[in-house]
Structure formats: structure tokens, C-alpha cells
């Protein structure tokens, strides 16, 4: 046994009596409170969203019932943004590390106590009050970075393989297919900066820089400016965010900043549909049918169980999955700017397509246990629906 593993066993053994005492305490107060022990992923985006979800659901429950719900959140593994965890710990009962792992394992034997982080049984609330706040010193640090921007800046978050390599994770099918090439975004970035919008290119680790010589573009992911605080602060203050779908998206979402999801792989599940976003998804091309899959076909695909971590390539199941072209990305960003500025006008045909898409998402039996049970707040970009009118067939 390695020294690291041995030390972890010693720590867990030392902590075991304290966990057992805590277990007896929980059993003693169960007649008064409903106790939830909730496991959380180490990815800070999922962690942040899950805590907000359960806190919102429990707040609604506690207003209506005499017997209250109390939640204990257990996050074990390497949390990708320690500052998010620290800030959440000030507002909720959040435990991490070996203690969280022990509590989670032991409480699994207690009936009606353990909740998995992906058990979304209640409709997702429309307004999740953000639990993250900034201290005066943090506001000062962030304001120095944003001096003279007047909040007219956006965050661009393009995921690539460097992120998983940085975390030491193998790049399976699901992780790899979510990646994008930053060079495809050059036209969209140039449109933004030429319209006097400052662009921060976000990222914990990125494969390469992008050659854009303009004072309105800051390659924050690679220029040494990046900190955990600024990851949160920029996402909280931006005019809007453009992202390819990653855990960081939870930051602008919780601070109620508009989000455009481009090249997004999976937006066909209740949790994703309930998030207020504009989406221009990746294009799934059927090799057999010689055309892009329709919305109904995509819903069936994502709930069929064939898109697994072990899938070697989409061609194995008769698909080609295509990223958006530079022109499509430009169209999506242009539309988002107009939406946020309040000057975007949908055509009658686009309004009709939006209504049809929402009807399908609100009534499809693979998404909804009953019609409209999970709210649908996601919208497809109108330029996407116009480019692919057969998407709703």
C-alpha cells in the first residue's frame, strides 16, 4: 500500500468515531426534521447548481410544512474551484474530503436519508437565489480588472482537451465530443470587439492562444491573469456569456446573466431544458438518412443509452457530429447581442418554430413524467431554427 493511501486510511479510521456520533445525533432528531445527506460531484459547476437546486426546493418545502428539511452536502474528490466551495460553506452545511466520504458511505444504510446529486424529482425553480457573494476586498480586486469597461464585456468559454489533461482525466467519448476549436470563434470575437464589446476568453487550461490583435480582446485563460476569484467575478458581472457547455456556466447562470450555448452537446434532458439559455447545438448527422437528426430523434437518441463513455466514435452508431461553422457562430453571437440589447425581432416563421419546439419539449414522454412537469426555459437560437427548418419535423 502506498504512503498516500495508507495516510488516507489512517485519517478515515480516526474520523470514524466522530461520524458514528453524528449518525446517532441525526437519528435522534429525525422525528423533528427530515435529514438529507446529499452527495455532490467535485466539478464546481455541478456542485454549485445542485446546492442551489436543493436549497430552493427545501426552502419552498419548509414554508409549507411544519416538519422541516435539513440538508448536509458531501463533496469528496478534488474540487476544481476551492473558492466556490469555501463561499458555499458559509451559507450551507457543506463538508468535503475524507469526512464527507465517510458520512456518505455510512449514511447510505439509513433509510430515507441519502440523496444522489442527480435525483431531480421536483421541477427546477425559475429563480435560484445566488448563495455566492463578494467581500468588499474582492469587489475592489474585480473592479480594478474591469476598470473603464462599464460592464460592457462578455465571457467566452470554449472547452478543449487541455482541461481534462490538466485534471489528469482520460478523454473518453463524452468529454472529447464536448470540445471545440477556438480558431472557429475568430469571426465571432472580431464582430464583438469591433462593436466595442470587451471579450474575456475564459478557461482553467487551454490548448492554444488565438491571434487577435485588439485591445478589446483579453486572452484571460492564457495570459496569467486568471484566478479562482476572477473566474467567479467575471461570470457574475458580464453582459452575457458565450459557452460550449461546462461547469463554469453555473456562475453566470446563478448571477442571472444571459447565456448563449454554442456547440453544446446535450441539451435534451430535463435539467438542461429548465435552465434559461439560448442554444445553438452541435449538428448530429445521420449517415443512413443523409440528413441532420430532428429534435424528436435527438431526444430518443439521448435517452436510448447508446451515447456512453465507452463509445469509441459516433460513426459506430451511424452518426457524424459536426461543430458549428464560423459563419454559424457569428450568426449566433450577433443574434445574442441583439437579444441582450433588446433589439432582436423574430420573424413570424421563427416565432412559430419556437412555439413548436417548446411544445415538443414540454410534452415529450421521454422528458416529462406528465405534460409541462419540468419547465422548459431553454430556447433554440432563432438563426439555428431558420438554418435547419427540418429540425422540428
Contact 50, 16 (CB under 8 A): no
Is residue 162 over pLDDT 90? no
Spatial distance between the Cα atoms of 386 and 377, rounded to a whole number of angstroms: 20
pLDDT at residue 181, rounded to an integer: 94
Alpha helices in 65-182 (DSSP H): 82-89, 97-107, 136-145, 162-167, 173-177
What nine digits make up the cell of 130?
A: 445566488
Look at residue 113 in the predicted model and tell me its pLDDT.
87
Tens-digit pLDDT profile for residues 356-387: 999 999 999 999 999 999 999 999 999 999 99
Tell how strand 291-292 and strand 283-286 pair up.
antiparallel
First-to-last alpha carbon distance for the chain, in angstroms, is 58
Least confident interval from 120-129, 155-164, 232-241, 286-295: 120-129
Residues 6+ apart with CB under 8 A from 170: 164
CATH 3.40.50.2000 assigned to 136-392: yes
**CA-to-CA distance for 191 and 229, rounded, in angstroms?**
28
CA nearest 209: which of 223, 193, 191, 225? 223
**243-266 pLDDT, tens digit each:** 998 889 999 999 999 999 999 998
Residues of the chain with CATH 3.40.50.2000: 136-392
The answer to whether residues 274 and 120 touch, using CB atoms and an 8 Å cutoff, is no
d(CA 244, CA 262): 5
Cell 475568430 sits at which residue? 186
Amino acid at each position: 500500500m502506498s504512503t498516500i493511501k495508507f495516510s488516507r486510511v489512517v485519517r478515515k479510521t480516526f474520523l470514524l468515531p466522530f461520524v458514528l456520533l453524528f449518525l446517532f445525533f441525526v437519528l435522534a432528531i429525525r422525528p423533528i426534521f427530515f435529514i438529507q445527506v446529499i452527495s455532490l460531484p467535485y466539478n464546481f459547476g455541478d456542485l454549485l447548481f445542485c446546492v442551489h437546486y436543493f436549497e430552493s426546493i427545501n426552502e419552498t418545502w419548509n414554508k409549507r410544512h411544519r416538519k422541516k428539511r435539513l440538508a448536509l452536502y458531501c463533496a469528496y474528490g478534488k474540487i476544481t474551484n476551492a473558492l466556490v466551495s469555501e463561499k458555499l460553506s458559509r451559507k450551507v452545511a457543506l463538508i468535503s474530503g475524507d469526512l464527507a466520504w465517510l458520512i456518505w458511505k455510512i449514511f447510505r444504510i439509513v433509510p430515507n436519508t441519502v440523496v444522489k446529486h442527480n435525483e431531480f424529482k421536483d421541477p427546477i425553480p425559475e429563480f435560484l437565489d445566488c448563495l455566492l457573494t463578494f467581500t468588499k476586498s474582492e469587489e475592489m480586486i474585480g473592479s480594478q480588472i474591469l476598470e473603464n469597461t462599464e460592464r460592457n464585456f462578455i465571457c467566452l468559454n470554449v472547452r478543449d482537451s487541455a482541461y481534462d489533461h490538466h485534471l489528469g482525466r482520460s478523454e473518453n467519448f463524452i468529454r472529447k465530443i464536448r470540445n471545440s476549436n477556438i480558431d472557429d470563434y475568430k469571426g465571432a470575437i472580431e464582430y464583438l470587439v469591433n462593436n466595442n464589446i470587451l471579450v474575456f476568453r475564459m478557461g482553467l487550461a487551454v490548448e492554444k492562444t488565438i491571434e487577435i490583435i485588439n485591445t478589446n480582446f483579453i486572452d484571460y485563460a492564457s495570459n496569467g491573469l486568471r484566478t479562482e476569484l476572477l473566474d467567479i467575478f467575471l461570470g457574475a458581472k458580464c453582459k452575457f456569456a458565450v459557452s460550449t457547455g461546462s461547469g463554469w456556466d453555473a456562475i453566470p447562470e446563478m448571477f442571472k446573466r444571459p447565456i448563449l450555448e454554442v456547440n453544446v452537446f446535450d441539451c435534451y434532458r430535463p435539467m438542461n431544458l429548465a435552465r434559461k439559455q439560448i442554444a445553438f447545438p452541435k449538428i448530429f448527422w445521420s449517415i443512413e438518412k443523409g440528413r441532420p437528426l430532428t429534435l424528436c430523434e435527438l431526444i430518443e437518441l439521448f435517452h436510448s443509452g447508446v451515447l456512453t463513455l465507452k463509445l469509441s466514435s459516433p460513426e459506430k452508431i451511424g452518426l457524424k457530429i459536426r461543430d458549428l461553422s464560423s459563419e454559424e457562430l457569428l450568426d449566433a453571437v450577433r443574434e445574442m447581442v441583439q437579444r441582450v440589447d433588446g433589439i432582436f425581432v423574430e420573424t413570424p416563421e421563427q416565432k412559430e418554430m419556437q412555439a413548436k419546439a417548446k411544445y415538443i419539449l414540454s410534452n415529450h414522454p421521454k422528458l416529462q413524467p406528465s405534460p409541462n412537469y419540468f419547465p422548459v426555459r431553454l430556447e433554440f437560437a432563432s438563426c439555428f431554427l431558420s438554418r435547419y427548418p427540418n429540425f422540428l419535423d
